[in-house]
Amino acid sequence: MTATDRAVELAITAARAASERKAQEIIALDVSEQLVLTDVFLIASGTNERQVGAVVDAVEEAMFAAGAKAIRREGKAEARWVLLDFGDVVVHVQHAEDRVYYALERLWKDCPAIDLPDDARGGDGAAAREEFGDTPPDGTIRLSGGL
């Protein structure tokens, strides 16, 4: 069984909203064969807590406009790792440091990736740092190629 068309459509909607807020390294994983509770995990990073909050707000707004309301939301107050459960899609917005530490991509590496359009993949973080502030002094955390 693969993710439903509706789940993929919602994941793309959420990814585009995250990308508009300059989220980094946005990926979508089809977890439908591993989990019965959801079809898609969408994972995105922010350079700091302020950006994580902005990404979460944008995703919730876009999903509501698409007819999906969050069933559950966790972590918004801390804005380090926010989980938004929309039923068919679970969105993880993580601070870049936490994303590397918890490595969800590695945990779910057996699940196929969902191809996202170019405008829904996010950037490398340069624009986000300019708008939302710098990452920690050790530099930018990039996930591409190391997973």
DSSP state of 86: -
Q: What is the pLDDT of residue 138?
A: 41
What are the tens digits of pLDDT across the range 12-63? 999 999 999 999 999 999 999 999 999 999 999 999 999 999 999 999 999 9
In whole numbers, what is the pLDDT of the chain averaged over residues? Answer: 88
The maximal CA–CA distance of the chain, rounded, in angstroms, is: 44
CA-to-CA distance for 36 and 93, rounded, in angstroms?
21
The reported pTM is: 0.83
Residue ranges in 5-48 assigned as alpha helix (H): 5-20
CA-to-CA distance for 27 and 37, rounded, in angstroms?
19
CA-to-CA distance for 121 and 110, rounded, in angstroms?
20
Which residue in the block uniquely carries the two structure tokens 């807590």? Answer: 49
